Amino acid sequence: MKNKKIIRTIFSLLAVLMLTACTADNEEKDPKKETTDNQAEQNENTNMDSDSHANMEHSSSGEVPKKLKIAEHPTYDIGTHAIIETDHMEGMKGAEATIVGAYDTTAYSISYTPTNGGEPVKDHKWVIHEEIKDAGEAPLESGTEVTIEASHMKGMEGATGVIDSAEETTVYMVDYTSTNDGDEVKNHKWVTENELSPIE
């Protein structure tokens, strides 16, 4: 009987040890899984940044292409104010804009690979007709390969891009205060007419 009790006790101890070992293994695996998940999330965020306007130059010198036509009857006159309804970058949507320029042109959404080795940029808004090398007179169709002469973002000027969409519209150059960090943005290029709304 004593031997049976000893054997049972030994088996019980072994069972406890085995359960403890399994639990320890699971606890070791969970942090690794969490780390992997974190890395995946970071990679996803990096990819999102590459497709966004994270490297966009918020302000500009205010210089525009020589052939760009000044709008004769813009919805928003120079010096007036409007609300920005687009979110090309953080701190833009909802900001009050002061109109500093209004021009009639064709605005393009373009995907391109930066010349500085950065990740491909998708659906960049906006590059206007006059900022495309040898664009000619007529609006360009979706799928057309072009060379960009604008410098809205690092690695943009001189890059080869493909037109995603085109919109004949009035584009505005605007000043505004970022709702994100309070920075003053001067001569931002570009906001289209349907990306602005009147101040009520």
pLDDT tens track for 37-77: 444 444 444 333 334 455 565 677 889 999 999 999 999 99
End-to-end CA distance of the chain: 93
Note whether 93 and 197 are within 8 A (CB): no
pLDDT confidence of residue 118: 85
pLDDT-above-70 percentage for the chain = 71
pLDDT confidence of residue 176: 97
pLDDT confidence of residue 38: 44
Which residue numbers in the chain have pLDDT < 70?
1-58
What CA–CA distance (Å, rounded) separates 61 from 176?
15
pLDDT confidence of residue 134: 95
Closest by Cα among 47, 54, 49 to 153: 54
Q: What is the pTM of this model?
A: 0.72
Q: Six-digit token pair at 125?
A: 């808004």
pLDDT confidence of residue 89: 86
pLDDT confidence of residue 111: 98
